[in-house]
Chains A and B, each alone.
Chain A
Amino acid sequence: MSHSFDEISQQLKRRHRKSTRLKWITMGSLGLAGLFLVLFFADMLSKGLPAFQQAYIQTEISYTQEAETDGRRAFDEELLPLISRTAVRTIPLELRNNPDMIGTSKAEWVLANSDVDQYLKGHRHRLSDEEQEALDARVESGQVDLRFNTTFFGSGDSKIAENAGILSAVVGTIMTMIVTLAISFPIGVMTAIYLEEFAPDNRLTQIIEININNLAAIPSILFGLLGLAIFINFFGVPRSSPLVGGMTLALMTLPVIIISTRTALRSVPESIRHAGFGVGCSRWQVVRDHVLPLAMPGIMTGSIIGLAQAMGETAPLIIVGMVAFIPDVGVSFTNAATVMPAQIFTWAGEPEQAFVEKTAGGILVLLTILISLNAFAVVMRKKFERRW
């Protein structure tokens, strides 16, 4: 039985309509996701970018004898409510170290306090009307300015908002990630190699395989509890340290690395293994000389993504005490440290307005590092990808 074109196109019209409708729905959901992403970034940038600038006031510092005991004496009385406590606090120490300076004076840009900073940026502040007037006058004469915030990138946490920086958290994150990578990469890759290339396919390996896959889906806070119970309470690893944090995150990253390594190994064609066995390679030689080089880009990508995931993790680190207040930047595996997400979490809990932009600024730093890591993973994959 044959159909005319008319009959066929009648039916086709309905089908075409359906597919057009589906296309619009899918495009709509993509658009919605994109919109949320744009909103998120716009909000973060508008809140966070101001954190990269900080108010400074130009003033005459007179290093008098009295200033050696009371830093406030070095400044113009009128200015004192506008200047950061940090700036005042450092004067006596400076004088004690350089007694020659007593009696001199010099014009300098000093850190303003967070209210001045927030006032200049147009946010909520606690300045009185007179203080605002005095400030406005100095803004007119160019004695108050917003400058690049070296404190934010160059120092650790502080209870004084204008003195708080992210560096101790960045260093803590780096130390923690070194531990995580040093533990999870070799163990993960070796485990995957065993399971994929050596292990017999029996009930036991199947159970192990299922459990590894499930491990990747376990809520991360449970890894924190495990870290607390085993690493801190049983093995006595110092709490709050990059060592215990890194070990805990390594537990979390292991399944990710194992799974991605296995996928990478499995994607190496069987013919390469046969070629190796055919010329008399032992199993290990086949893996080391032929399979691993081909699987390396995939392994690296998986590991970097696992690491990036660990870097953004907060919950397990809270349990092992890595939400500590760390004012000093310390390069140590065993001393208390904090990490970026934990620092952001701490700042988010501060009541002061100035910490809102610190929070957003911290998120921007974290996001930048994560996006660069992921981009690096993509570049690595493209660069080392070999065709056969």
Chain B
Amino acid sequence: MNSHATVMNGQQTPAVGQPYTRNEAACHDLSFRVRDLNLWYGKNQALKNLNIDLFQKNVTALIGPSGCGKSTFLRCLNRMNDLIPSVRTEGLVEMDGLDVNAPKMDEVALRRRVGMVFQKPNPFPKSIFENIAYAPRMHDLVSRKAEQEELVEKALRDAGLWNEVKDKLHEPGTSLSGGQQQRLCIARAIAVQPDVILMDEPTSALDPISTATIEDLMDKLKEKFTIITVTHNMQQAARVADYTAFFHLGEIIEYNDTKVMFSTPAQKKTEDYISGRYG
């Protein structure tokens, strides 16, 4: 495919009308390399021939109308689609040069390095402390009580939640407000020290103020983590993302630097979507 060639040759300009992959390896290390990814729900093809490179320590936003496959694609990155029996995937998803779908790749190990934050805040029905300490303890990152406390505090500070909850660490996580719960879920994800955090419409169930808090947080977190977020909200993509990929009917129509994409989209479809003509 043409887009392949451009990547291989290290050229920057893709053929118009082709879904393409950017190659900025010079300035950013690669997090995920995706080649010819196809996915079916039963007989229904949801992802068609995706090729994309995702970069480390950046925020990448996946945008597009409902049912375009952006969430499905996100779940390919930590193999959450494995949980759906009817799903079949083909193609290559590579992290650190390893095929994440390879038989010897353990999905538990993968998810340890690729954390996830979901659309609806879903804290465990346990205390705030337990919500965060549970996974690191499970992965043997910490064992002693003091270590756990230190880690919980660090994760909560990183998620900007520490000051709000430090006096009630042993109250249930579900007692927090929606926005706080979502930040708790982010703290839970970063507590296992992953490389990548996937966010599946993390603010769609939140009010504007909580949304702004989370957006600020994403901006801060990208210093340490690679963030890949799905959003319905184009303003959000424009605000937080360094790179944006536009999905439509299971294909990547355009993938570019966010500023470039929102000012001078290369594709007519992208322009129509960004300007709110459909979606």
Contacts and interface: CB of A to CB of B under 8 A. Distances in A.
On whether the two chains bind one another, the answer is yes
Interface of A: 200-201, 269, 271-282, 285, 289-290, 293-294, 386-388
A277 B111 contact: yes
B120 to A, nearest CB: 6
Interface residues of B, number: 26
B108 interface: yes
Given A280-B138, A387-B174, A272 B108 contact: no
Contacts of A272: 122, 124-125
Contacts of B109: 280
Given A271-B122, A386-B125, A387-B174, A279 B85 contact: no
B134 A278 contact: no
A274 B112 contact: no
Contacts of B123: 275, 388
B189 A278 contact: yes
A278 B115 contact: yes
Interface-centre pick from A277, A290, A293 (highest chain B CB count, 10 A): A277
B85 A388 contact: no
Contacts of A282: 108
A388 B125 contact: yes
Given A278-B115, A279-B138, A279-B189, 4 more contacts: A272-B124, A278-B78, A278-B117, A279-B111
Interface-centre pick from A280, A290, A293, A386 (highest chain B CB count, 10 A): A280
Contacts of A290: 124
Nearest to B78: A278
B124 A275 contact: yes
Contacts of A386: 125
What 3 A-B pairs have minimum CB-CB distances, sorted nearest first? A279-B135, A278-B116, A280-B112
Contacts of A277: 80, 83, 111
A289 B135 CA distance: 11
Nearest to B112: A280
B118 A275 contact: yes
Interface-centre pick from B83, B124, B174, B185 (highest chain A CB count, 10 A): B124
Contacts of B248: none
Given A201-B85, A271-B120, A388-B174, A278 B111 contact: yes
A206 to B, nearest CB: 13
Contact of B108 (A275, A280, A294, A387): A280
Contacts of A274: 80, 83, 116, 118, 122
A278 B112 contact: no
A276 B185 CA distance: 11
A276 B125 CA distance: 11
Nearest to A278: B116
Contact of B134 (A269, A279, A387): A279
A279 B192 contact: yes
Nearest to B175: A387
B141 to A, nearest CB: 11
A298 to B, nearest CB: 14
B186 to A, nearest CB: 11
Given A274-B118, A290-B124, A280 B135 contact: yes
Contacts of A279: 111-112, 115, 134-135, 138, 188-189, 192
B72 to A, nearest CB: 14
Interface in B47-101: 78, 80, 83, 85
A294 B85 contact: no
A280 B122 contact: no
Contact of B80 (A271, A278, A281, A388): A278
Nearest to B86: A201
A280 B78 CA distance: 10
Contacts of B120: 271
A294 B118 contact: no
Nearest to A269: B122
A278 B185 CA distance: 10
B168 interface: no
A274 B122 CA distance: 8
A117 to B, nearest CB: 58
Interface-centre pick from A277, A278, A386 (highest chain B CB count, 10 A): A278
B139 interface: yes
A78 to B, nearest CB: 75
Nearest to B111: A280
Interface-centre pick from B80, B109, B116 (highest chain A CB count, 10 A): B116
A317 B221 CA distance: 66
A344 B128 CA distance: 54
Contacts of A273: 83
Contacts of A269: 122
Contacts of A201: 85
Nearest to B79: A277
B248 to A, nearest CB: 26
9 contacts: A271-B118, A271-B120, A272-B122, A274-B80, A279-B115, A281-B108, A282-B108, A388-B123, A388-B174
A281 B192 CA distance: 12
Contacts of B192: 279-280
Contacts of B122: 269, 271-272, 274-275
A271 B138 CA distance: 19
A343 to B, nearest CB: 45
Contacts of A388: 123, 125, 174
Given A275-B185, A289-B134, A280 B139 contact: yes
A280 B189 CA distance: 10
Interface in B119-175: 120, 122-125, 134-135, 138-139, 174
Contacts of B83: 273-274, 277
A387 B188 CA distance: 20
A290 B125 CA distance: 8
A201 B189 CA distance: 30
A387 B125 CA distance: 7
B125 A294 contact: yes
A160 to B, nearest CB: 59
